[in-house]
Amino acid sequence: MFDRVTFDPNIMGGRACIRGMRIPVSVIVGQVAHGATFLEILSDYPDLQEEDIRQAVEFTSR
């Protein structure tokens, strides 16, 4: 269900991250919560894809 949210004890201390990258789910969700658009987030993090943001938000809401 959340194939883009990963946990690895060697990356960011095991925090939920996007696809094994050093981009924590909490950072992405925090940006959304503060009003950033998907396009703004994608501009800040060019390695992300729209589905990464969607899954981060949905993961956090569960």
Average pLDDT over residues 5-18: 97
Residue 54 has pLDDT above 90, yes or no: yes
Mean pLDDT of 38-59: 97
Spans of all domains in the chain:
5-61
Residue type, 8: D
Q: What pLDDT does 1 receive? A: 87
Listed in sequence order, the residues at least 6 apart from 47 whose beta carbon sits closer than 8 Å to its beta carbon are: 21, 23
CATH 1.10.10.10 fits 5-61, yes or no: yes
Whether pLDDT at 3 is above 90: yes
Residue 58: helix, strand or coil by DSSP?
helix
